[in-house]
Structure 1
Amino acid sequence: MKENRLWKLFISTFTLSAFTFGGGFVIVSLYKKKFVEELNWLAEDEMLDISAIAQSSPGPIPVNASVILGYRIHGILGSILAILGTIIPPFVIISLISIFYKEFKNSHIISIALQVMRAGVAAVILDVVVNLGKNVIKTKNVLYIIVMIAAFIGTYFFKLSAMYIIFFCIAIGLITVFLNYRKEKSNGTSMDSVH
């Protein structure tokens, strides 16, 4: 059973990585469909946390996500298999493309195929944005909704760098945790004084 689950983890990450174009946002969405909706190995909240960590950590989003996802599903061995499943397909594909780069570069057919793929990738990224936005709205947390809107306005209208948005969100998260901690501590001491 354990070996079957590990094999399924490797094959799932390998297949998703091999047939996904458009980068990290696309593959994270497909991870959600596979591991949350189809296999039920993760809760939706866990996948959202994995997405947030993967996007705000240095390095490629798919690799970051697979490290955490694999570890969550089956510890260090799961992490290693998920990473291998994620990096082998692009490594092989990029190696082959580099060998035949001149032929690919001048091919009219390849050029048209890439343009069509871009349109498909845009649709998948839009799907990711809508799903993540829906999940934020579902929380009914006013702060999260305001941060989401502010991040959109900052990037779309003011062309702020993603790094500024990430640091801003980290700061808001830390302040929220600190305020919640202080509130719980003061509630705890007031409850103790009653007893």
Structure 2
Amino acid sequence: MKRQESTGKMLWKLFRATFLLSAFTFGGGFVIVSLMKKKFVEELQWLEEDEMLDITAIAQSSPGPIPVNASVILGYRMYGVVGSLVAVLGTILPPMIILSLISVFYAQFRSNRVIALALQVMRAGVAAVIFDVVINLARNVVSTRRKVYIILMAAAFVAKVFFGVDAMLLILFCLGVGLLDLALQAYHRRKAVAP
């Protein structure tokens, strides 16, 4: 019985954390992923830094909204299918509630100068948070000290920014290089062990 209570409390904590993150995050998936890292890695210490980086990569390369994808993985990592459902519910409820209210008062919101100004100011904050995400992800890649990953990161950045290469192509290419690198590492380990 005590196990169920602690699981129930943890599921409530997971729901509350994802609900609050989703309710007070503006600017899309990259912003909420950064805040998820701060919440679940640094504050609650439910995940390691590498796990959050993996969750971010999978969430970005999977179809659908990044926050929902990240919540599915995070919830599953914590408490299986039930954890996924709880985390997704916590993530999707705030936007559904907020958008439902906005749709009712859409005409008033559209013509209100104060709301228009608030939205413009929030864009600056969103840009700062996205920049923070980029710096943190780049720092994590550099900390691996793997030349292949560092060169791949720089090449993907140049390809996207200067040549406008589609993000999905970059993700698939990086995935291919990562799988090839993994296969080469496995081959070298087997070769080193073989007599």
TM-score over 0.5 (shorter chain): yes
SS in 2 for 1:59: coil
- Work out the CA distance in 1 between the residues paired with 2:147 and 2:99: 44
Query: AA paired with 2:81?
Result: I
- Work out the CA distance in 1 between the residues paired with 2:180 and 2:142: 21
- Matched with 1:44 is 49
Residue of structure 1 aligned with 2:78, choices 73, 97, 114: 73
- Matched with 1:17 is 22
| CA RMSD in angstroms, aligned pairs only | 0.9
Structure 2: 5+ residue runs without aligned partners? 1-5
Query: AA paired with 1:145?
Result: I
- Matched with 2:135 is 130
Query: AA paired with 1:16?
Result: L
Residue of structure 2 aligned with 1:5, choices 10, 13, 27: 10
How far 1:105 moved relative to its partner? Answer: 1.3
Asked whether 1:27 is paired with 2:32, we answer yes
After TM superposition, the score normalised by the length of structure 1 is: 0.95
How far 1:77 moved relative to its partner? Answer: 1.0
Residue of structure 2 aligned with 1:153, choices 151, 154, 158: 158
Query: AA paired with 2:118?
Result: A
After TM superposition, the score normalised by the length of structure 2 is: 0.95
Structure 1: 5+ residue runs without aligned partners? 191-195
Residue of structure 1 aligned with 2:107, choices 97, 102, 109: 102
The more displaced of 178-187 and 22-31 is 178-187
SS in 2 for 1:29: helix
Asked whether 1:56 is paired with 2:61, we answer yes
- Work out the CA distance in 2 between the residues paired with 1:168 and 1:106: 45
Count of residue pairs brought into register by the alignment? 190
Structure 1 runs of 4+ aligned residues shifted over 2 Å read 184-190
Aligned sequence identity (%): 62
